[in-house]
Amino acid sequence: MIRRVLGVGLTLAVLTAALAAPWLARHDPARTDFSQSLRPPGTHGHPLGTDQLGRDLLARVLHGARLALFIGGCTMVVTALVGGLLGLLTGWVEGWPSTVIMRLCDVQLSFPFILLAMTINVIVGLGLRNIIVSLSAAGWVVYARVVRGEALSVKQRDFVQAAAALGAGRARLLFRHVLPNVAPSIVVVASLQFSQFIVAEAAISFLGFGVQPPTPAWGSMLAESRDFLYVAWWLAAFPGAALALTALGVNLLGDWLRDTLDPRLRV
């Protein structure tokens, strides 16, 4: 119960912060002011302090929430669509194309997610759009696996056989009968993957790939903070805390969704 409240509450808080960032923060996240550089939290006008260029940390953390949720959201939608569709099709039509796709999944799973996303990111190029592409290319596998497994069992069920006997077409069977029964798994996987995408994006940007400074991404803010760890702890503390709280909220929400929709699923 506490967990559910905390999950929903934290997620809503982050969502609000992201949507209302321009109104909640009184400063422009990109505006530099060298007379105000490295001010500690509590400085007048800068509740969370300022960074080495005198940029307001609160504004940067809030705008970072926008970016994190945007990247996580886009990646979640793309992977759910691509992975879900591929899982549905490979579960429905058995044959060599399905085998090839599933082998490709095995290959991808033989490699750590973050390293894969990072390698793809270097090859396709850095920046906001390409980090979404990279995370999606690395992340669709889980959906494909889970959905395929579900589709394989759902298509054997009586109501699907009955619909087929009544003369329903392939597309109708797939999208009207199989998909609705597989959908809960997709939702659960999506909610559990969401925080992984956000944390992976931050980690990749932290290592110097992905979203580049001066864009206020939590990962690149933390990377910049390393040079000032001896003099300005707040630069490392707040963006990371924002990231951890977001991940915590979304994880708890995901756990709750799983327990409600699909308690058997272990991802």
CB 151 within 8 A of CB 179: no
Stretch that binds another protein, among 36-44, 45-53, 106-114, 151-159 (CB under 8 A): 106-114
- Toward another protein, which CB reaches closer, 10 or 59? 10
| Residue closer to another protein (CB basis): 88 or 235 | 235
Closest to another protein by CB, 30 vs 245, is: 245
Nearer Cβ to another protein (44/266) = 266
Binding residue count for another protein, defined by CB under 8 A:
44
Cα(212)–Cα(193) distance, integer angstroms: 23
Asked if 232 and 225 touch (Cβ cutoff 8 Å), the reply is yes
Nearest distance in Å: CB 58, another protein: 18
Q: Which of 12, 19, 77, 122 binds another protein (CB under 8 A)?
A: 122
Nearest-CA neighbor of 146 among 112, 110, 191?
A: 191
Judged by beta carbon, residue 154 or residue 253, the one nearer another protein is: 253
Q: How many beta carbons lie within 10 A of that of residue 125, not counting itself?
A: 12
Q: Are 193 and 250 in contact (CB under 8 A)?
A: no
Pairwise CA distance, residues 261 & 150, whole Å: 14
80 binds another protein (CB under 8 A): no
**Site track for another protein across 189-228, x = CB under 8 A:** ------x---x--xx--xxxx------------x--xx--
Residue 50 has phi, psi (to 5 degrees) of -130, 165
- x/- contact string, 223-262, with another protein (CB under 8 A)? --xx--xx--x--xx--xx-xxx-xx--xx----------
Of 267, 92, 254, 89, the residue nearest 187 (C-alpha): 254
Shortest Cβ 150–another protein spacing (Å): 19
Calculate the dihedral angle through the C-alpha atoms of 188, 193, 195, 200, rounding to the nearest 10 degrees.
180
23 token code pair: 């109104």
Number of neighbouring beta carbons within 10 Å of residue 160: 18
Residue nearer to another protein on the CB measure, 135 or 222: 222
Task: Report in angstroms how near the CB of residue 107 gets to another protein at its nearest.
Answer: 4
**C-alpha span between 256 and 5 (Å, rounded):** 10
Binding site for another protein (CB under 8 A): 3, 103-104, 106-107, 109-115, 118-120, 122-124, 195, 199, 202-203, 206-209, 222, 225-226, 229-230, 233, 236-237, 240-241, 243-245, 247-248, 251-252, 266
